[in-house]
Amino acid sequence: MDAEGIRKVVLDELRRIAPELEEIEPSKLLRDQVDLDSMDWLNFLVALHERLKVEIPEADYQKLATLDQVVAYLSAKAK
Amino acid sequence: MIEFKLPSLGADMDEGKLLEWKVKPGEKVKRGDLVAVVETPKAAVDIEIWQDGVVHELITQLGTTIPVGTVMARLLAPGETAPPPGAAPAAPVPLAPVAPVVPVSVPAAPPASVPAAPPPAGLGRHLVSPAARKHARELGVDVEKLQGSGPHGAVTVEDVEQAKKGAPKPAPAPAEPPAAAPAAAPAATPPADKALAMRKAIAAAMSRSKREIPHYYLSQTIPMQRAMDWLTARNEKRPVTERLLMGALQLKAVALALKDFPDFNGFWKENAFQPAQGIHVGVAISLRQGGLIAPAIHGVAELSLDELMKAFADLVRRARAGSLRSSEMSDPTITVTNLGDQGVDEVFAIIYPPQVAIVGFGRLAPRPWAADGMIGAVPAVVASLAADHRASDGHRGARFLAAIAARLQQPETL
C-alpha cells in the first residue's frame, strides 16, 4: 500500500475512535487534536496492526506523535 | 411461576424503556441469558435473567417505559407446568411441557445476593449503535442481519442506509397491515434527549452522594518505576493485541487490596454497611458524546491480568458503543476512576451511591522523590481514596490506600 492509502487507513481508524473528529493538521501533535486516552490509543494501534499487518512495538510509540509521523512509520514498516 | 422483574440498572437509573424482547413464549432460558433490551439514558442495556425456566408470558409491551422492579414476564420453573387457561391472565401459550411431569417443587426465592459473574462477552457480539438501531427501525431494516463496519464490527447508521439501498424495494404495503407490522416497534429516544436525560441521571446520583455521604479524602504518591519496568518488559514480547495497560494493573491492585479491606467493598443501605459478596470493580468510562458511565468488571480479584485486560477493553468498547448488560450496571461494589490521561495530578472523586468508596488515579509522570537522603526523579502516580465516613474511618482508609500502593510496587504479585 502506498503512503496515500496508508494515510487513508489511519484517518479512517482515527475517525472510528473519535467520530467527532473534523480536520487534522498532519504535522501537529495528534494528542492535542484528538481526545485519545490510553485505551483509545491501544485500540487505534490494534486496528492499524490488523489492517496493515505491521508490528508496532511499544518502544516505538514516541515516533508516532503526529499524523505525518504515523504515516511515515507505517509506510516504512509496510514495505 | 417465576416473575421476571426489571432488575436494578444502577443507583441513578430508576426506569427503562423496553426496546426488544429477545425471547418468545415457550422458549427455554438459562441463568445468564439475555432476555430483553431496555433503553436507559446511558446505554441500551441487555437484561439478563438469573434463573432457568421456560418463558410463559411476556407482559411488558415494546416501547413502554417501566420502573425498576416491574414484572416484565412470567416463566415456568423447570418441572412446572403451565396453569390451566384462565388461571393466569395470559393468552394460551404454545408450550412444550418439559419432560414427564414431576411433582412441582416451588422454586426458592431468588437469592438477593449479587449474581455470579457472567462469562466475559464474546468478541463476536453484535454491536449496534443506538442511532443505527433507531434509523433501522425507521427504514424497516433488520439490524441483526447486518454486517457492521463500525468500531469492532458495530453496525453504524451508514450500514443501515447501505442495507436499505441494497435491499430490494419493500413490497407495496398490503391494504391491511399484518398485526405484527413494524409500526409497533418502539422508537429509540433522540440523542439530544438522551444527553439531557443522562445529565439528569448523573446530577441526581451525584447530588444524592454529596447530600447524603460524608466523604473523607486521602491520597498517597506511589513510586511506579518497578511497575513500569515490569509492564515494559512484559509488553515488549507481546504483539499489540496482547498488551496490558497500566490501568489494568491499577484495577487489579485495588481488587486485591479489597480482599484485606472488605469494609470498602459494598453498599451503605438502611443505615448500615452491607459488605458485597464479590469484588466487582466499576470502571468510570467517559463517553464521547459527553457524560460517563461506571459499569462493573465482575470478580476482578480472581481474573488474571490478561483476562482483566480483555474484560476491561471489552467493557470500554461496549460502553462507548452504548451496549451494556444489566448486571454490569447494577453490580459495581466500588468504583475506580483514572483521569491520568487527561493530565491531572490527583482525583478528588465523588462516591457513586450506594457504594462506599471510590479510588482515583492521576497522571503517571516523573516526580521528585527522596530516597537515601537524595532527591531524584522517579515515575509516580497519586492514588486517592474518597470514602464514606459512615462506613469507615480515615485510619482504615489510609491502610487500604497503603495496601493498594504496596500491590502496585510488587507488580509480579498482581
Instruction: Count Cα atoms within 13 angstroms, Cβ side, for B218.
Output: 20
What is the span of the domain harbouring residue A66?
A: 3-78
B95: cell is: 408450550
Q: CA–CA distance from A67 to each of A14, A25, A35, A38, A70 (Å)?
A: 10, 8, 14, 17, 5
Query: What does the pLDDT read at residue B49?
Result: 93
Is residue A74 within 8 A of residue A50, CB to CB? The reply is: no
| ipTM score above 0.85 | yes
Q: Which of A45, A58, A73 to mutate against chain B (most B CBs within 10 Å)?
A: A58
B247-297 pLDDT tens trace: 999 999 999 999 999 999 999 999 999 999 999 999 999 988 888 999 999
Query: In a 3-state reduction of DSSP, which class is residue B382?
Result: strand
Show residues of chain B in contact with A9, CB under 8 Å: none
Residue B319 to residue B81: CA distance in whole angstroms: 39
Amino acid A20: pLDDT: 80
Of A36-40, B162-166, B260-264, B316-320, the range with the lowest mean pLDDT is: B162-166
Which of B37, B34, B41 has the alpha carbon at shortest distance from B55? Answer: B34
Q: Are residues B245 and A20, on separate chains, in Cβ contact within 8 Å?
A: no
Spatial CB neighbours of B251, under 8 Å, sequence gap ≥ 6: B281, B283, B297, B300, B308, B312, B336
CATH number assigned to the domain covering B214-413: 3.30.559.10
Q: Which fold has domain B2-76?
A: OB fold (Dihydrolipoamide Acetyltransferase, E2P) (2.40.50)
pLDDT the model gives residue B116:
44
Q: How confident is the model at residue B118 (pLDDT cuts 50, 70, 90)?
A: very low
Q: What tens digit of pLDDT does each residue of B356-381 get?
A: 999 999 999 999 999 889 999 999 99
Mean per-residue pLDDT over chain A, rounded: 90
Most confident option among B7-21, B133-147, B241-255, B319-333: B241-255
Mean of pLDDT values over B115-120: 43
Using CA coordinates, name the residue in chain A closest to B343: A37
By the 8 A CB rule, do A67 and A30 touch? Answer: yes
* Residues contacting residue B193 through CB under 8 Å, at least 6 positions apart: none
pLDDT value, residue B96: 46
Cβ of A56 within 8 Å of Cβ of B240? The answer is: yes
**Residue B146, pLDDT above cutoff 90:** no
Strands (E), B147-289: 215-223, 266-269, 272-275, 281-283, 285-286
Residue B99: pLDDT band (50, 70, 90) is very low
Non-local CB neighbours of A1 within 8 Å, separated by 6+ positions: A9, A52, A78
Q: Is B171 within 8 Å of chain A by CB?
A: no
Q: What is the pLDDT of residues B42-64, one digit of tens each?
A: 888 999 999 999 999 999 999 99
Mutate to test the interface with A, among B240, B308, B314 (most CBs of A within 10 A): B240
Decide if A45 and B288 are in contact by the 8 Å CB cutoff.
no
Strands B53-58 vs B71-76: parallel, antiparallel or unpaired: antiparallel
All structural domains of chain B with their residue ranges: 2-76, 214-413
C-alpha to C-alpha distances, B358 to B15, B216, B334, B349, B402, nearest whole angstrom: 25, 11, 6, 7, 15
The pLDDT of residue B177 is 46
What secondary structure does DSSP assign to B88-99, as a single string? BSSPP------S
**Structural domain total, chain A:** 1
Q: Is the pLDDT of residue B88 over 80?
A: no
Q: B150 to chain A nearest CA, in Å?
A: 7
CATH number for the domain that contains residue A24: 1.10.1200.10
Residue B83, burial from CB neighbour count under 10 angstroms (0-12, 13-18, 19+): middle
